[in-house]
Amino acid sequence: MEEFLTPAFWFAVGQIIMIDILLGGDNAVVIALACRQLPPHQRTKGIMWGTAGAIVLRVVLIFFALTLLAIPFLKFVGAVLLIWIGVKLLTPDQDDDHSNIKGSDKLWGAVKTVIIADLVMSVDNVIAIAGAAQTSGNADHQMPLVIFGLLVSIPIIVWGSQLVLKLMDRFPMIITAGGMLLGWIAGTMIQTDPGLVAYLPQDKAWGYGMGIAGALLVLALGKLIMSRRPLHIEDAPS
């Protein structure tokens, strides 16, 4: 029980919540689109059942991800993917939309759409959350903190998505911090990769150093990519 009160545990929970909020904004949009054709009295049910199904599916995926991360060098691969996800967060695609999400006028059709769409869109969340769970310091507590983090963050995503989006628009630093957080997790994942532990120092100073290096790498790559993108006409200075 005492392990659940350690700073490492709650730091990991905080990471999971932040990751879900930053990477899960699209999921709230998908839920709304999938349920938009339902009769008004069924929309709440569609949202609730679709969200519940998505949570269960994500917990299962994260369980398998945590298991796979015990295989040598897979943490390294996951860390590379996390860096890419972090850079992608800092360099959003201007043409990204959800026009291909088809709504359904049947309750279970909408629920199915929510779950399938969430499955397709949750790869980045699963990898990031599995990586964050690794920082808890105790393998026995990884799934409990994953479930706790999801239970806290999913309602924020579903019911508070508009507020979160407004905060991100007003304070872009939130997105930058989120991308750097993913880089931090990537750096710490590399240090604890079973295939690399024999070659890398395992003290906390090195862990912090690799986390900082990962965060700065994401920031640098994001800045570099954005600086090389052509300026849109609407963004051009007048």
State the amino acid at position 114 in one-letter form. Answer: V
On whether residue 236 sits in a domain, the answer given is: no
On whether residue 235 sits in a domain, the answer given is: no
Instruction: Report which of 131, 120, 21 is spatially closest to residue 82, judged by C-alpha positions.
Output: 131
Kindly report, residue by residue over 114-154, the tens digit of the pLDDT. Answer: 677 666 666 667 777 777 777 665 666 677 777 777 777 66
On whether residue 162 sits in a domain, the answer given is: yes
State percent of the chain over pLDDT 70: 70
Q: What is the DSSP string of 143-194?
A: HHHHHHHHHHHHHHHHHHHHHHHHHHHH-THHHHHHHHHHHHHHHHHHHT-T
Helices 123-133 and 74-90 cross at an angle (nearest 10°) of 120
On whether residue 9 sits in a domain, the answer given is: no
The whole-angstrom separation of Cα 126 and Cα 128 is 6
Q: How many domains does the chain have?
A: 1
On whether residue 3 sits in a domain, the answer given is: no
* pLDDT of 162 above 60: no
On whether residue 2 sits in a domain, the answer given is: no
Measure CA of the first residue to CA of the last residue in the chain; give whole Å: 60
Domain assignment of residue 171, given as a range: 15-226
On whether residue 168 sits in a domain, the answer given is: yes
191: which 2 tokens? 């240090």
